[in-house]
Structure 1
């Protein structure tokens, strides 16, 4: 009787472990699908803004400039039209920035390296971009890495007092990685604000993680590692930092 009971216990435990593993895998897959659905919604909004409201504003700006040429003899009317044109151009610029923040068109069209080059060109701190990916990963992975660099550069400009940033892009047939390294004041903490915390959640939903090394006065190194295919349950994003307790993926 005891033997039968022991055998049943092991079978039940194995069954429970199997069920728990399957449940954990389904939960992970669900998180990945949610991120991908949100990213597709972002792409749709960006397309709608570009093809709809943005094109209408461009057309309105062109018509206004024609009207301004026709009002050359009326200085007061021309001044009024110039003010309207300035406001329209400012609104168009803000709309373009909004569309770029929702989902950058250059990322879809040209890939991660080109999109990060565009971020670097707009940065108020000098940025050097090195490396590339051997091939384009899943769209959600590209977007997660892009947002990682965008958030890091924003934080550098706001808080780091850095003089230089180096962005490194690298990967292989299993995973993709970006590293953002600055020479600023350090002290970055993923738990202190919503930006890095959001990156931790986004990367985790894609089976990736975020590594942050930021000693006070020693600059900041932020590294995101993500599987090229987040739907592969065998995906491994080991970057070597977890074994020595440096990984902040669960921060």
Structure 2
């Protein structure tokens, strides 16, 4: 079922993008408007959450995630890269109080999750929420993002579970049947496990300082908990 839903989402975004390019999305003919989209989730979808897209030229766009955490925003071509933030909405039927970040260096899929938040902290060397207020995109380059992603996934022992997927840019569906979502869910339960007993805030600080020495038990605990979802 998850695979069907992911294919359906890709078709939806492709169709929306095609329509956008044909119509100009309501703008003049001098700009090329394209789609940034993705999933906002933390093991469960961030339903009806607000996504803020803050781009390099100072422009700001807003979108609302649907009940599955799927969001999309149409952005004018010269504005990239863009900082992404998700907040509000609901998580597991309760008001969501968490705020997560990501970044878009190109059009297409860009997820916003606790894991993308960690990658951004590792890339920037600071808390993503502080950076988002007045983003400086000097360090935001695709190769540097890949390096930061590898550093975080290796430090936390996530590589085998991710199966070479890019947690920032690979489309996924916030469902227990989706392995990317399962990684997020098991990350949360690993932090709460007595063997680790750390908060997400502590993990975020570790990522920003590039020092995961206090999380040596995270990788083996995660590996013991993670079960590949039935597809």
Q: Scaled by the length of structure 1, what TM-score is found?
A: 0.27
Higher strand share: 2
The one of the two structures with greater contact order (alpha-carbon pairs below 8 A, sep at least 6) is: 2
Higher helix share: 1
Q: Scaled by the length of structure 2, what TM-score is found?
A: 0.28
